[in-house]
Amino acid sequence: MIQAVTFDLWQTLILETPEDLRRGRELRIEGMREILRERGYSVSTADIEEAYQMVGRRLETIWQNQVDIGPGEQVQLLLHSLDPELPLAFGEDTMRRLEEAYTSPVLKIMPVLNGGAADTLETLHERGVKLGLICNTGRTPGAMLRIVLERLGILMFFEALSFSNELRLRKPNPRIFIHTLGRLGVEPSRALHVGDDPQTDVTGAKGAGMRALWLRQGEDPPPAPEAVDGIIGSLPEVLKVLRRLEGG
């Protein structure tokens, strides 16, 4: 019997578009540039854009090891790229403001719920299934994503929230799945993970001993992962798969 279901966040429960990503990048860069200007550092948008891209490349290297760093460290990397002395030039208040400018654009460009997300979570919750969230956070940390989940009305359904920047672990590392299930008090063999990424979600969950559903969506999805326990095209289908897995 499946006792717990864990979900990926981005492009599974909530959606963002390429335009959202572009606008978020602009808000981060302009917000940080304005704070630096106030502190007497004249930096061009192009210079911050270049530093921003450098941080992205550094993150990709870090993520290859299935670990993560927090937003404060990302801001430090960006400032160091602009000027190696810059991270040492500011006090706690300025660093806090820079980090807020870097992490808060998601609250201005709110993602939307994927179709059927709220109803699916509510139904599972009402049936007594324990729910967890496992999210690779990127540039938007768990602190901001909790606010997003609350605004979208789905935060209360989850008993465990695992954000990569807080745990320093990143999917497909099995340890982030095991950690989440430990908080839920459920063995991996009794748990199911749902996500849109064949590698980070399906391979990661299977590596932790869970069952995995691949949410296939979009016009040109990648090939289906070999080890997947089921393929769905929408979140409400999770309920049908659960009935099948339980022999109902």
Average model confidence (pLDDT) across the chain: 96
pLDDT digits (tens, 9 = 90+) for 7-53: 999 999 999 999 999 999 999 999 999 999 999 999 999 999 999 99
Read off the pLDDT of each residue in 181-210 and give the average, rounded to a whole number.
Answer: 98
- Top CATH class of 4-16+111-245 equals alpha beta
3-state secondary structure of 201: helix
Q: Could you please report the per-residue DSSP string of 72-139?
A: HHHHHHHHHHH-TTGGGS--HHHHHHHHHHHHTHHHHS--EEPTTHHHHHHHHHHTT-EEEEEE--TT
Q: What is the pLDDT of residue 29?
A: 97
Q: What is the pLDDT of residue 225?
A: 78
Please give the structure tokens belonging to residue 56. Answer: 């992205």
| pLDDT above 70 (res 193) | yes
| pLDDT above 60 (res 248) | no
Read off the pLDDT of each residue in 100-110 and give the average, rounded to a whole number.
Answer: 98
pLDDT digits (tens, 9 = 90+) for 218-243: 777 777 777 899 999 999 999 999 98
Task: Sketch the domain layout of the chain as residue ranges.
Answer: 4-16+111-245, 18-108
